Copies of this chain bind each other. A is one copy, B any other.
Amino acid sequence: MNFSHKDLSGKLAGHNIRPSFQRLKVLEYLIQNQCHPNAEQIFNELQNVIPTLSKTTIYNTLNKFADAGLVKVLNIEDNEARYDIITETHGHFKCEECGTIYNFKIDLDAVNVEELKGFITTERNVYFKGTCQKCLLNINYSKRKEHVS
């Protein structure tokens, strides 16, 4: 998919965020790469487009987006935040072999927790960890090869 400058500006304006060039590019990147990037990845990618870009701006922008509710911050590991354009409630699966984070549909909005009666819940997160199918196949393949040789 492709997004016009107008689409992107509109989205920012809807959250009271001024449409600077840097912000538009970060937003565009997040929409086109829904792969839960961290600040580093976004920075590296956009440096090609904006040579003078600084990491501070990436952080400023991401924090602004997060405050505005445009993106969600994922803290699956403790040493880096990952950013997710907010679409609908979904869970995350992190493969501990390859590091890929997958989305999966799960609806916790309906879940009613007895112990949280009287609490206000504003955010519901689910993340699983394990090994993804791709890596499992690779591991099995390696083992078979090992066995043969």
Contacts and interface: CB of A to CB of B under 8 A. Distances in A.
Contact of A124 (B78, B113, B117, B128): B128
Nearest to A123: B129
A95 B119 CA distance: 9
Interface string A110-133: 010111111111111111111111
A104 interface: yes
Interface string A56-81: 00000000000000000101111011
Contacts of A131: 119-120, 122
A102 interface: yes
Contact of A78 (B81, B113, B120): B81
Interface string A79-118: 0110000000001010110000011111010010111111
Number of copies: 2
Contacts of A106: 111, 113
Given A78-B75, A125-B127, A126-B126, A136 B113 contact: no
Nearest to A117: B133
A41 B133 CA distance: 39
Nearest to A104: B115
Given A75-B77, A124-B128, 12 more contacts: A75-B75, A93-B121, A95-B119, A102-B116, A104-B115, A105-B114, A106-B111, A118-B133, A119-B136, A123-B130, A125-B125, A125-B129
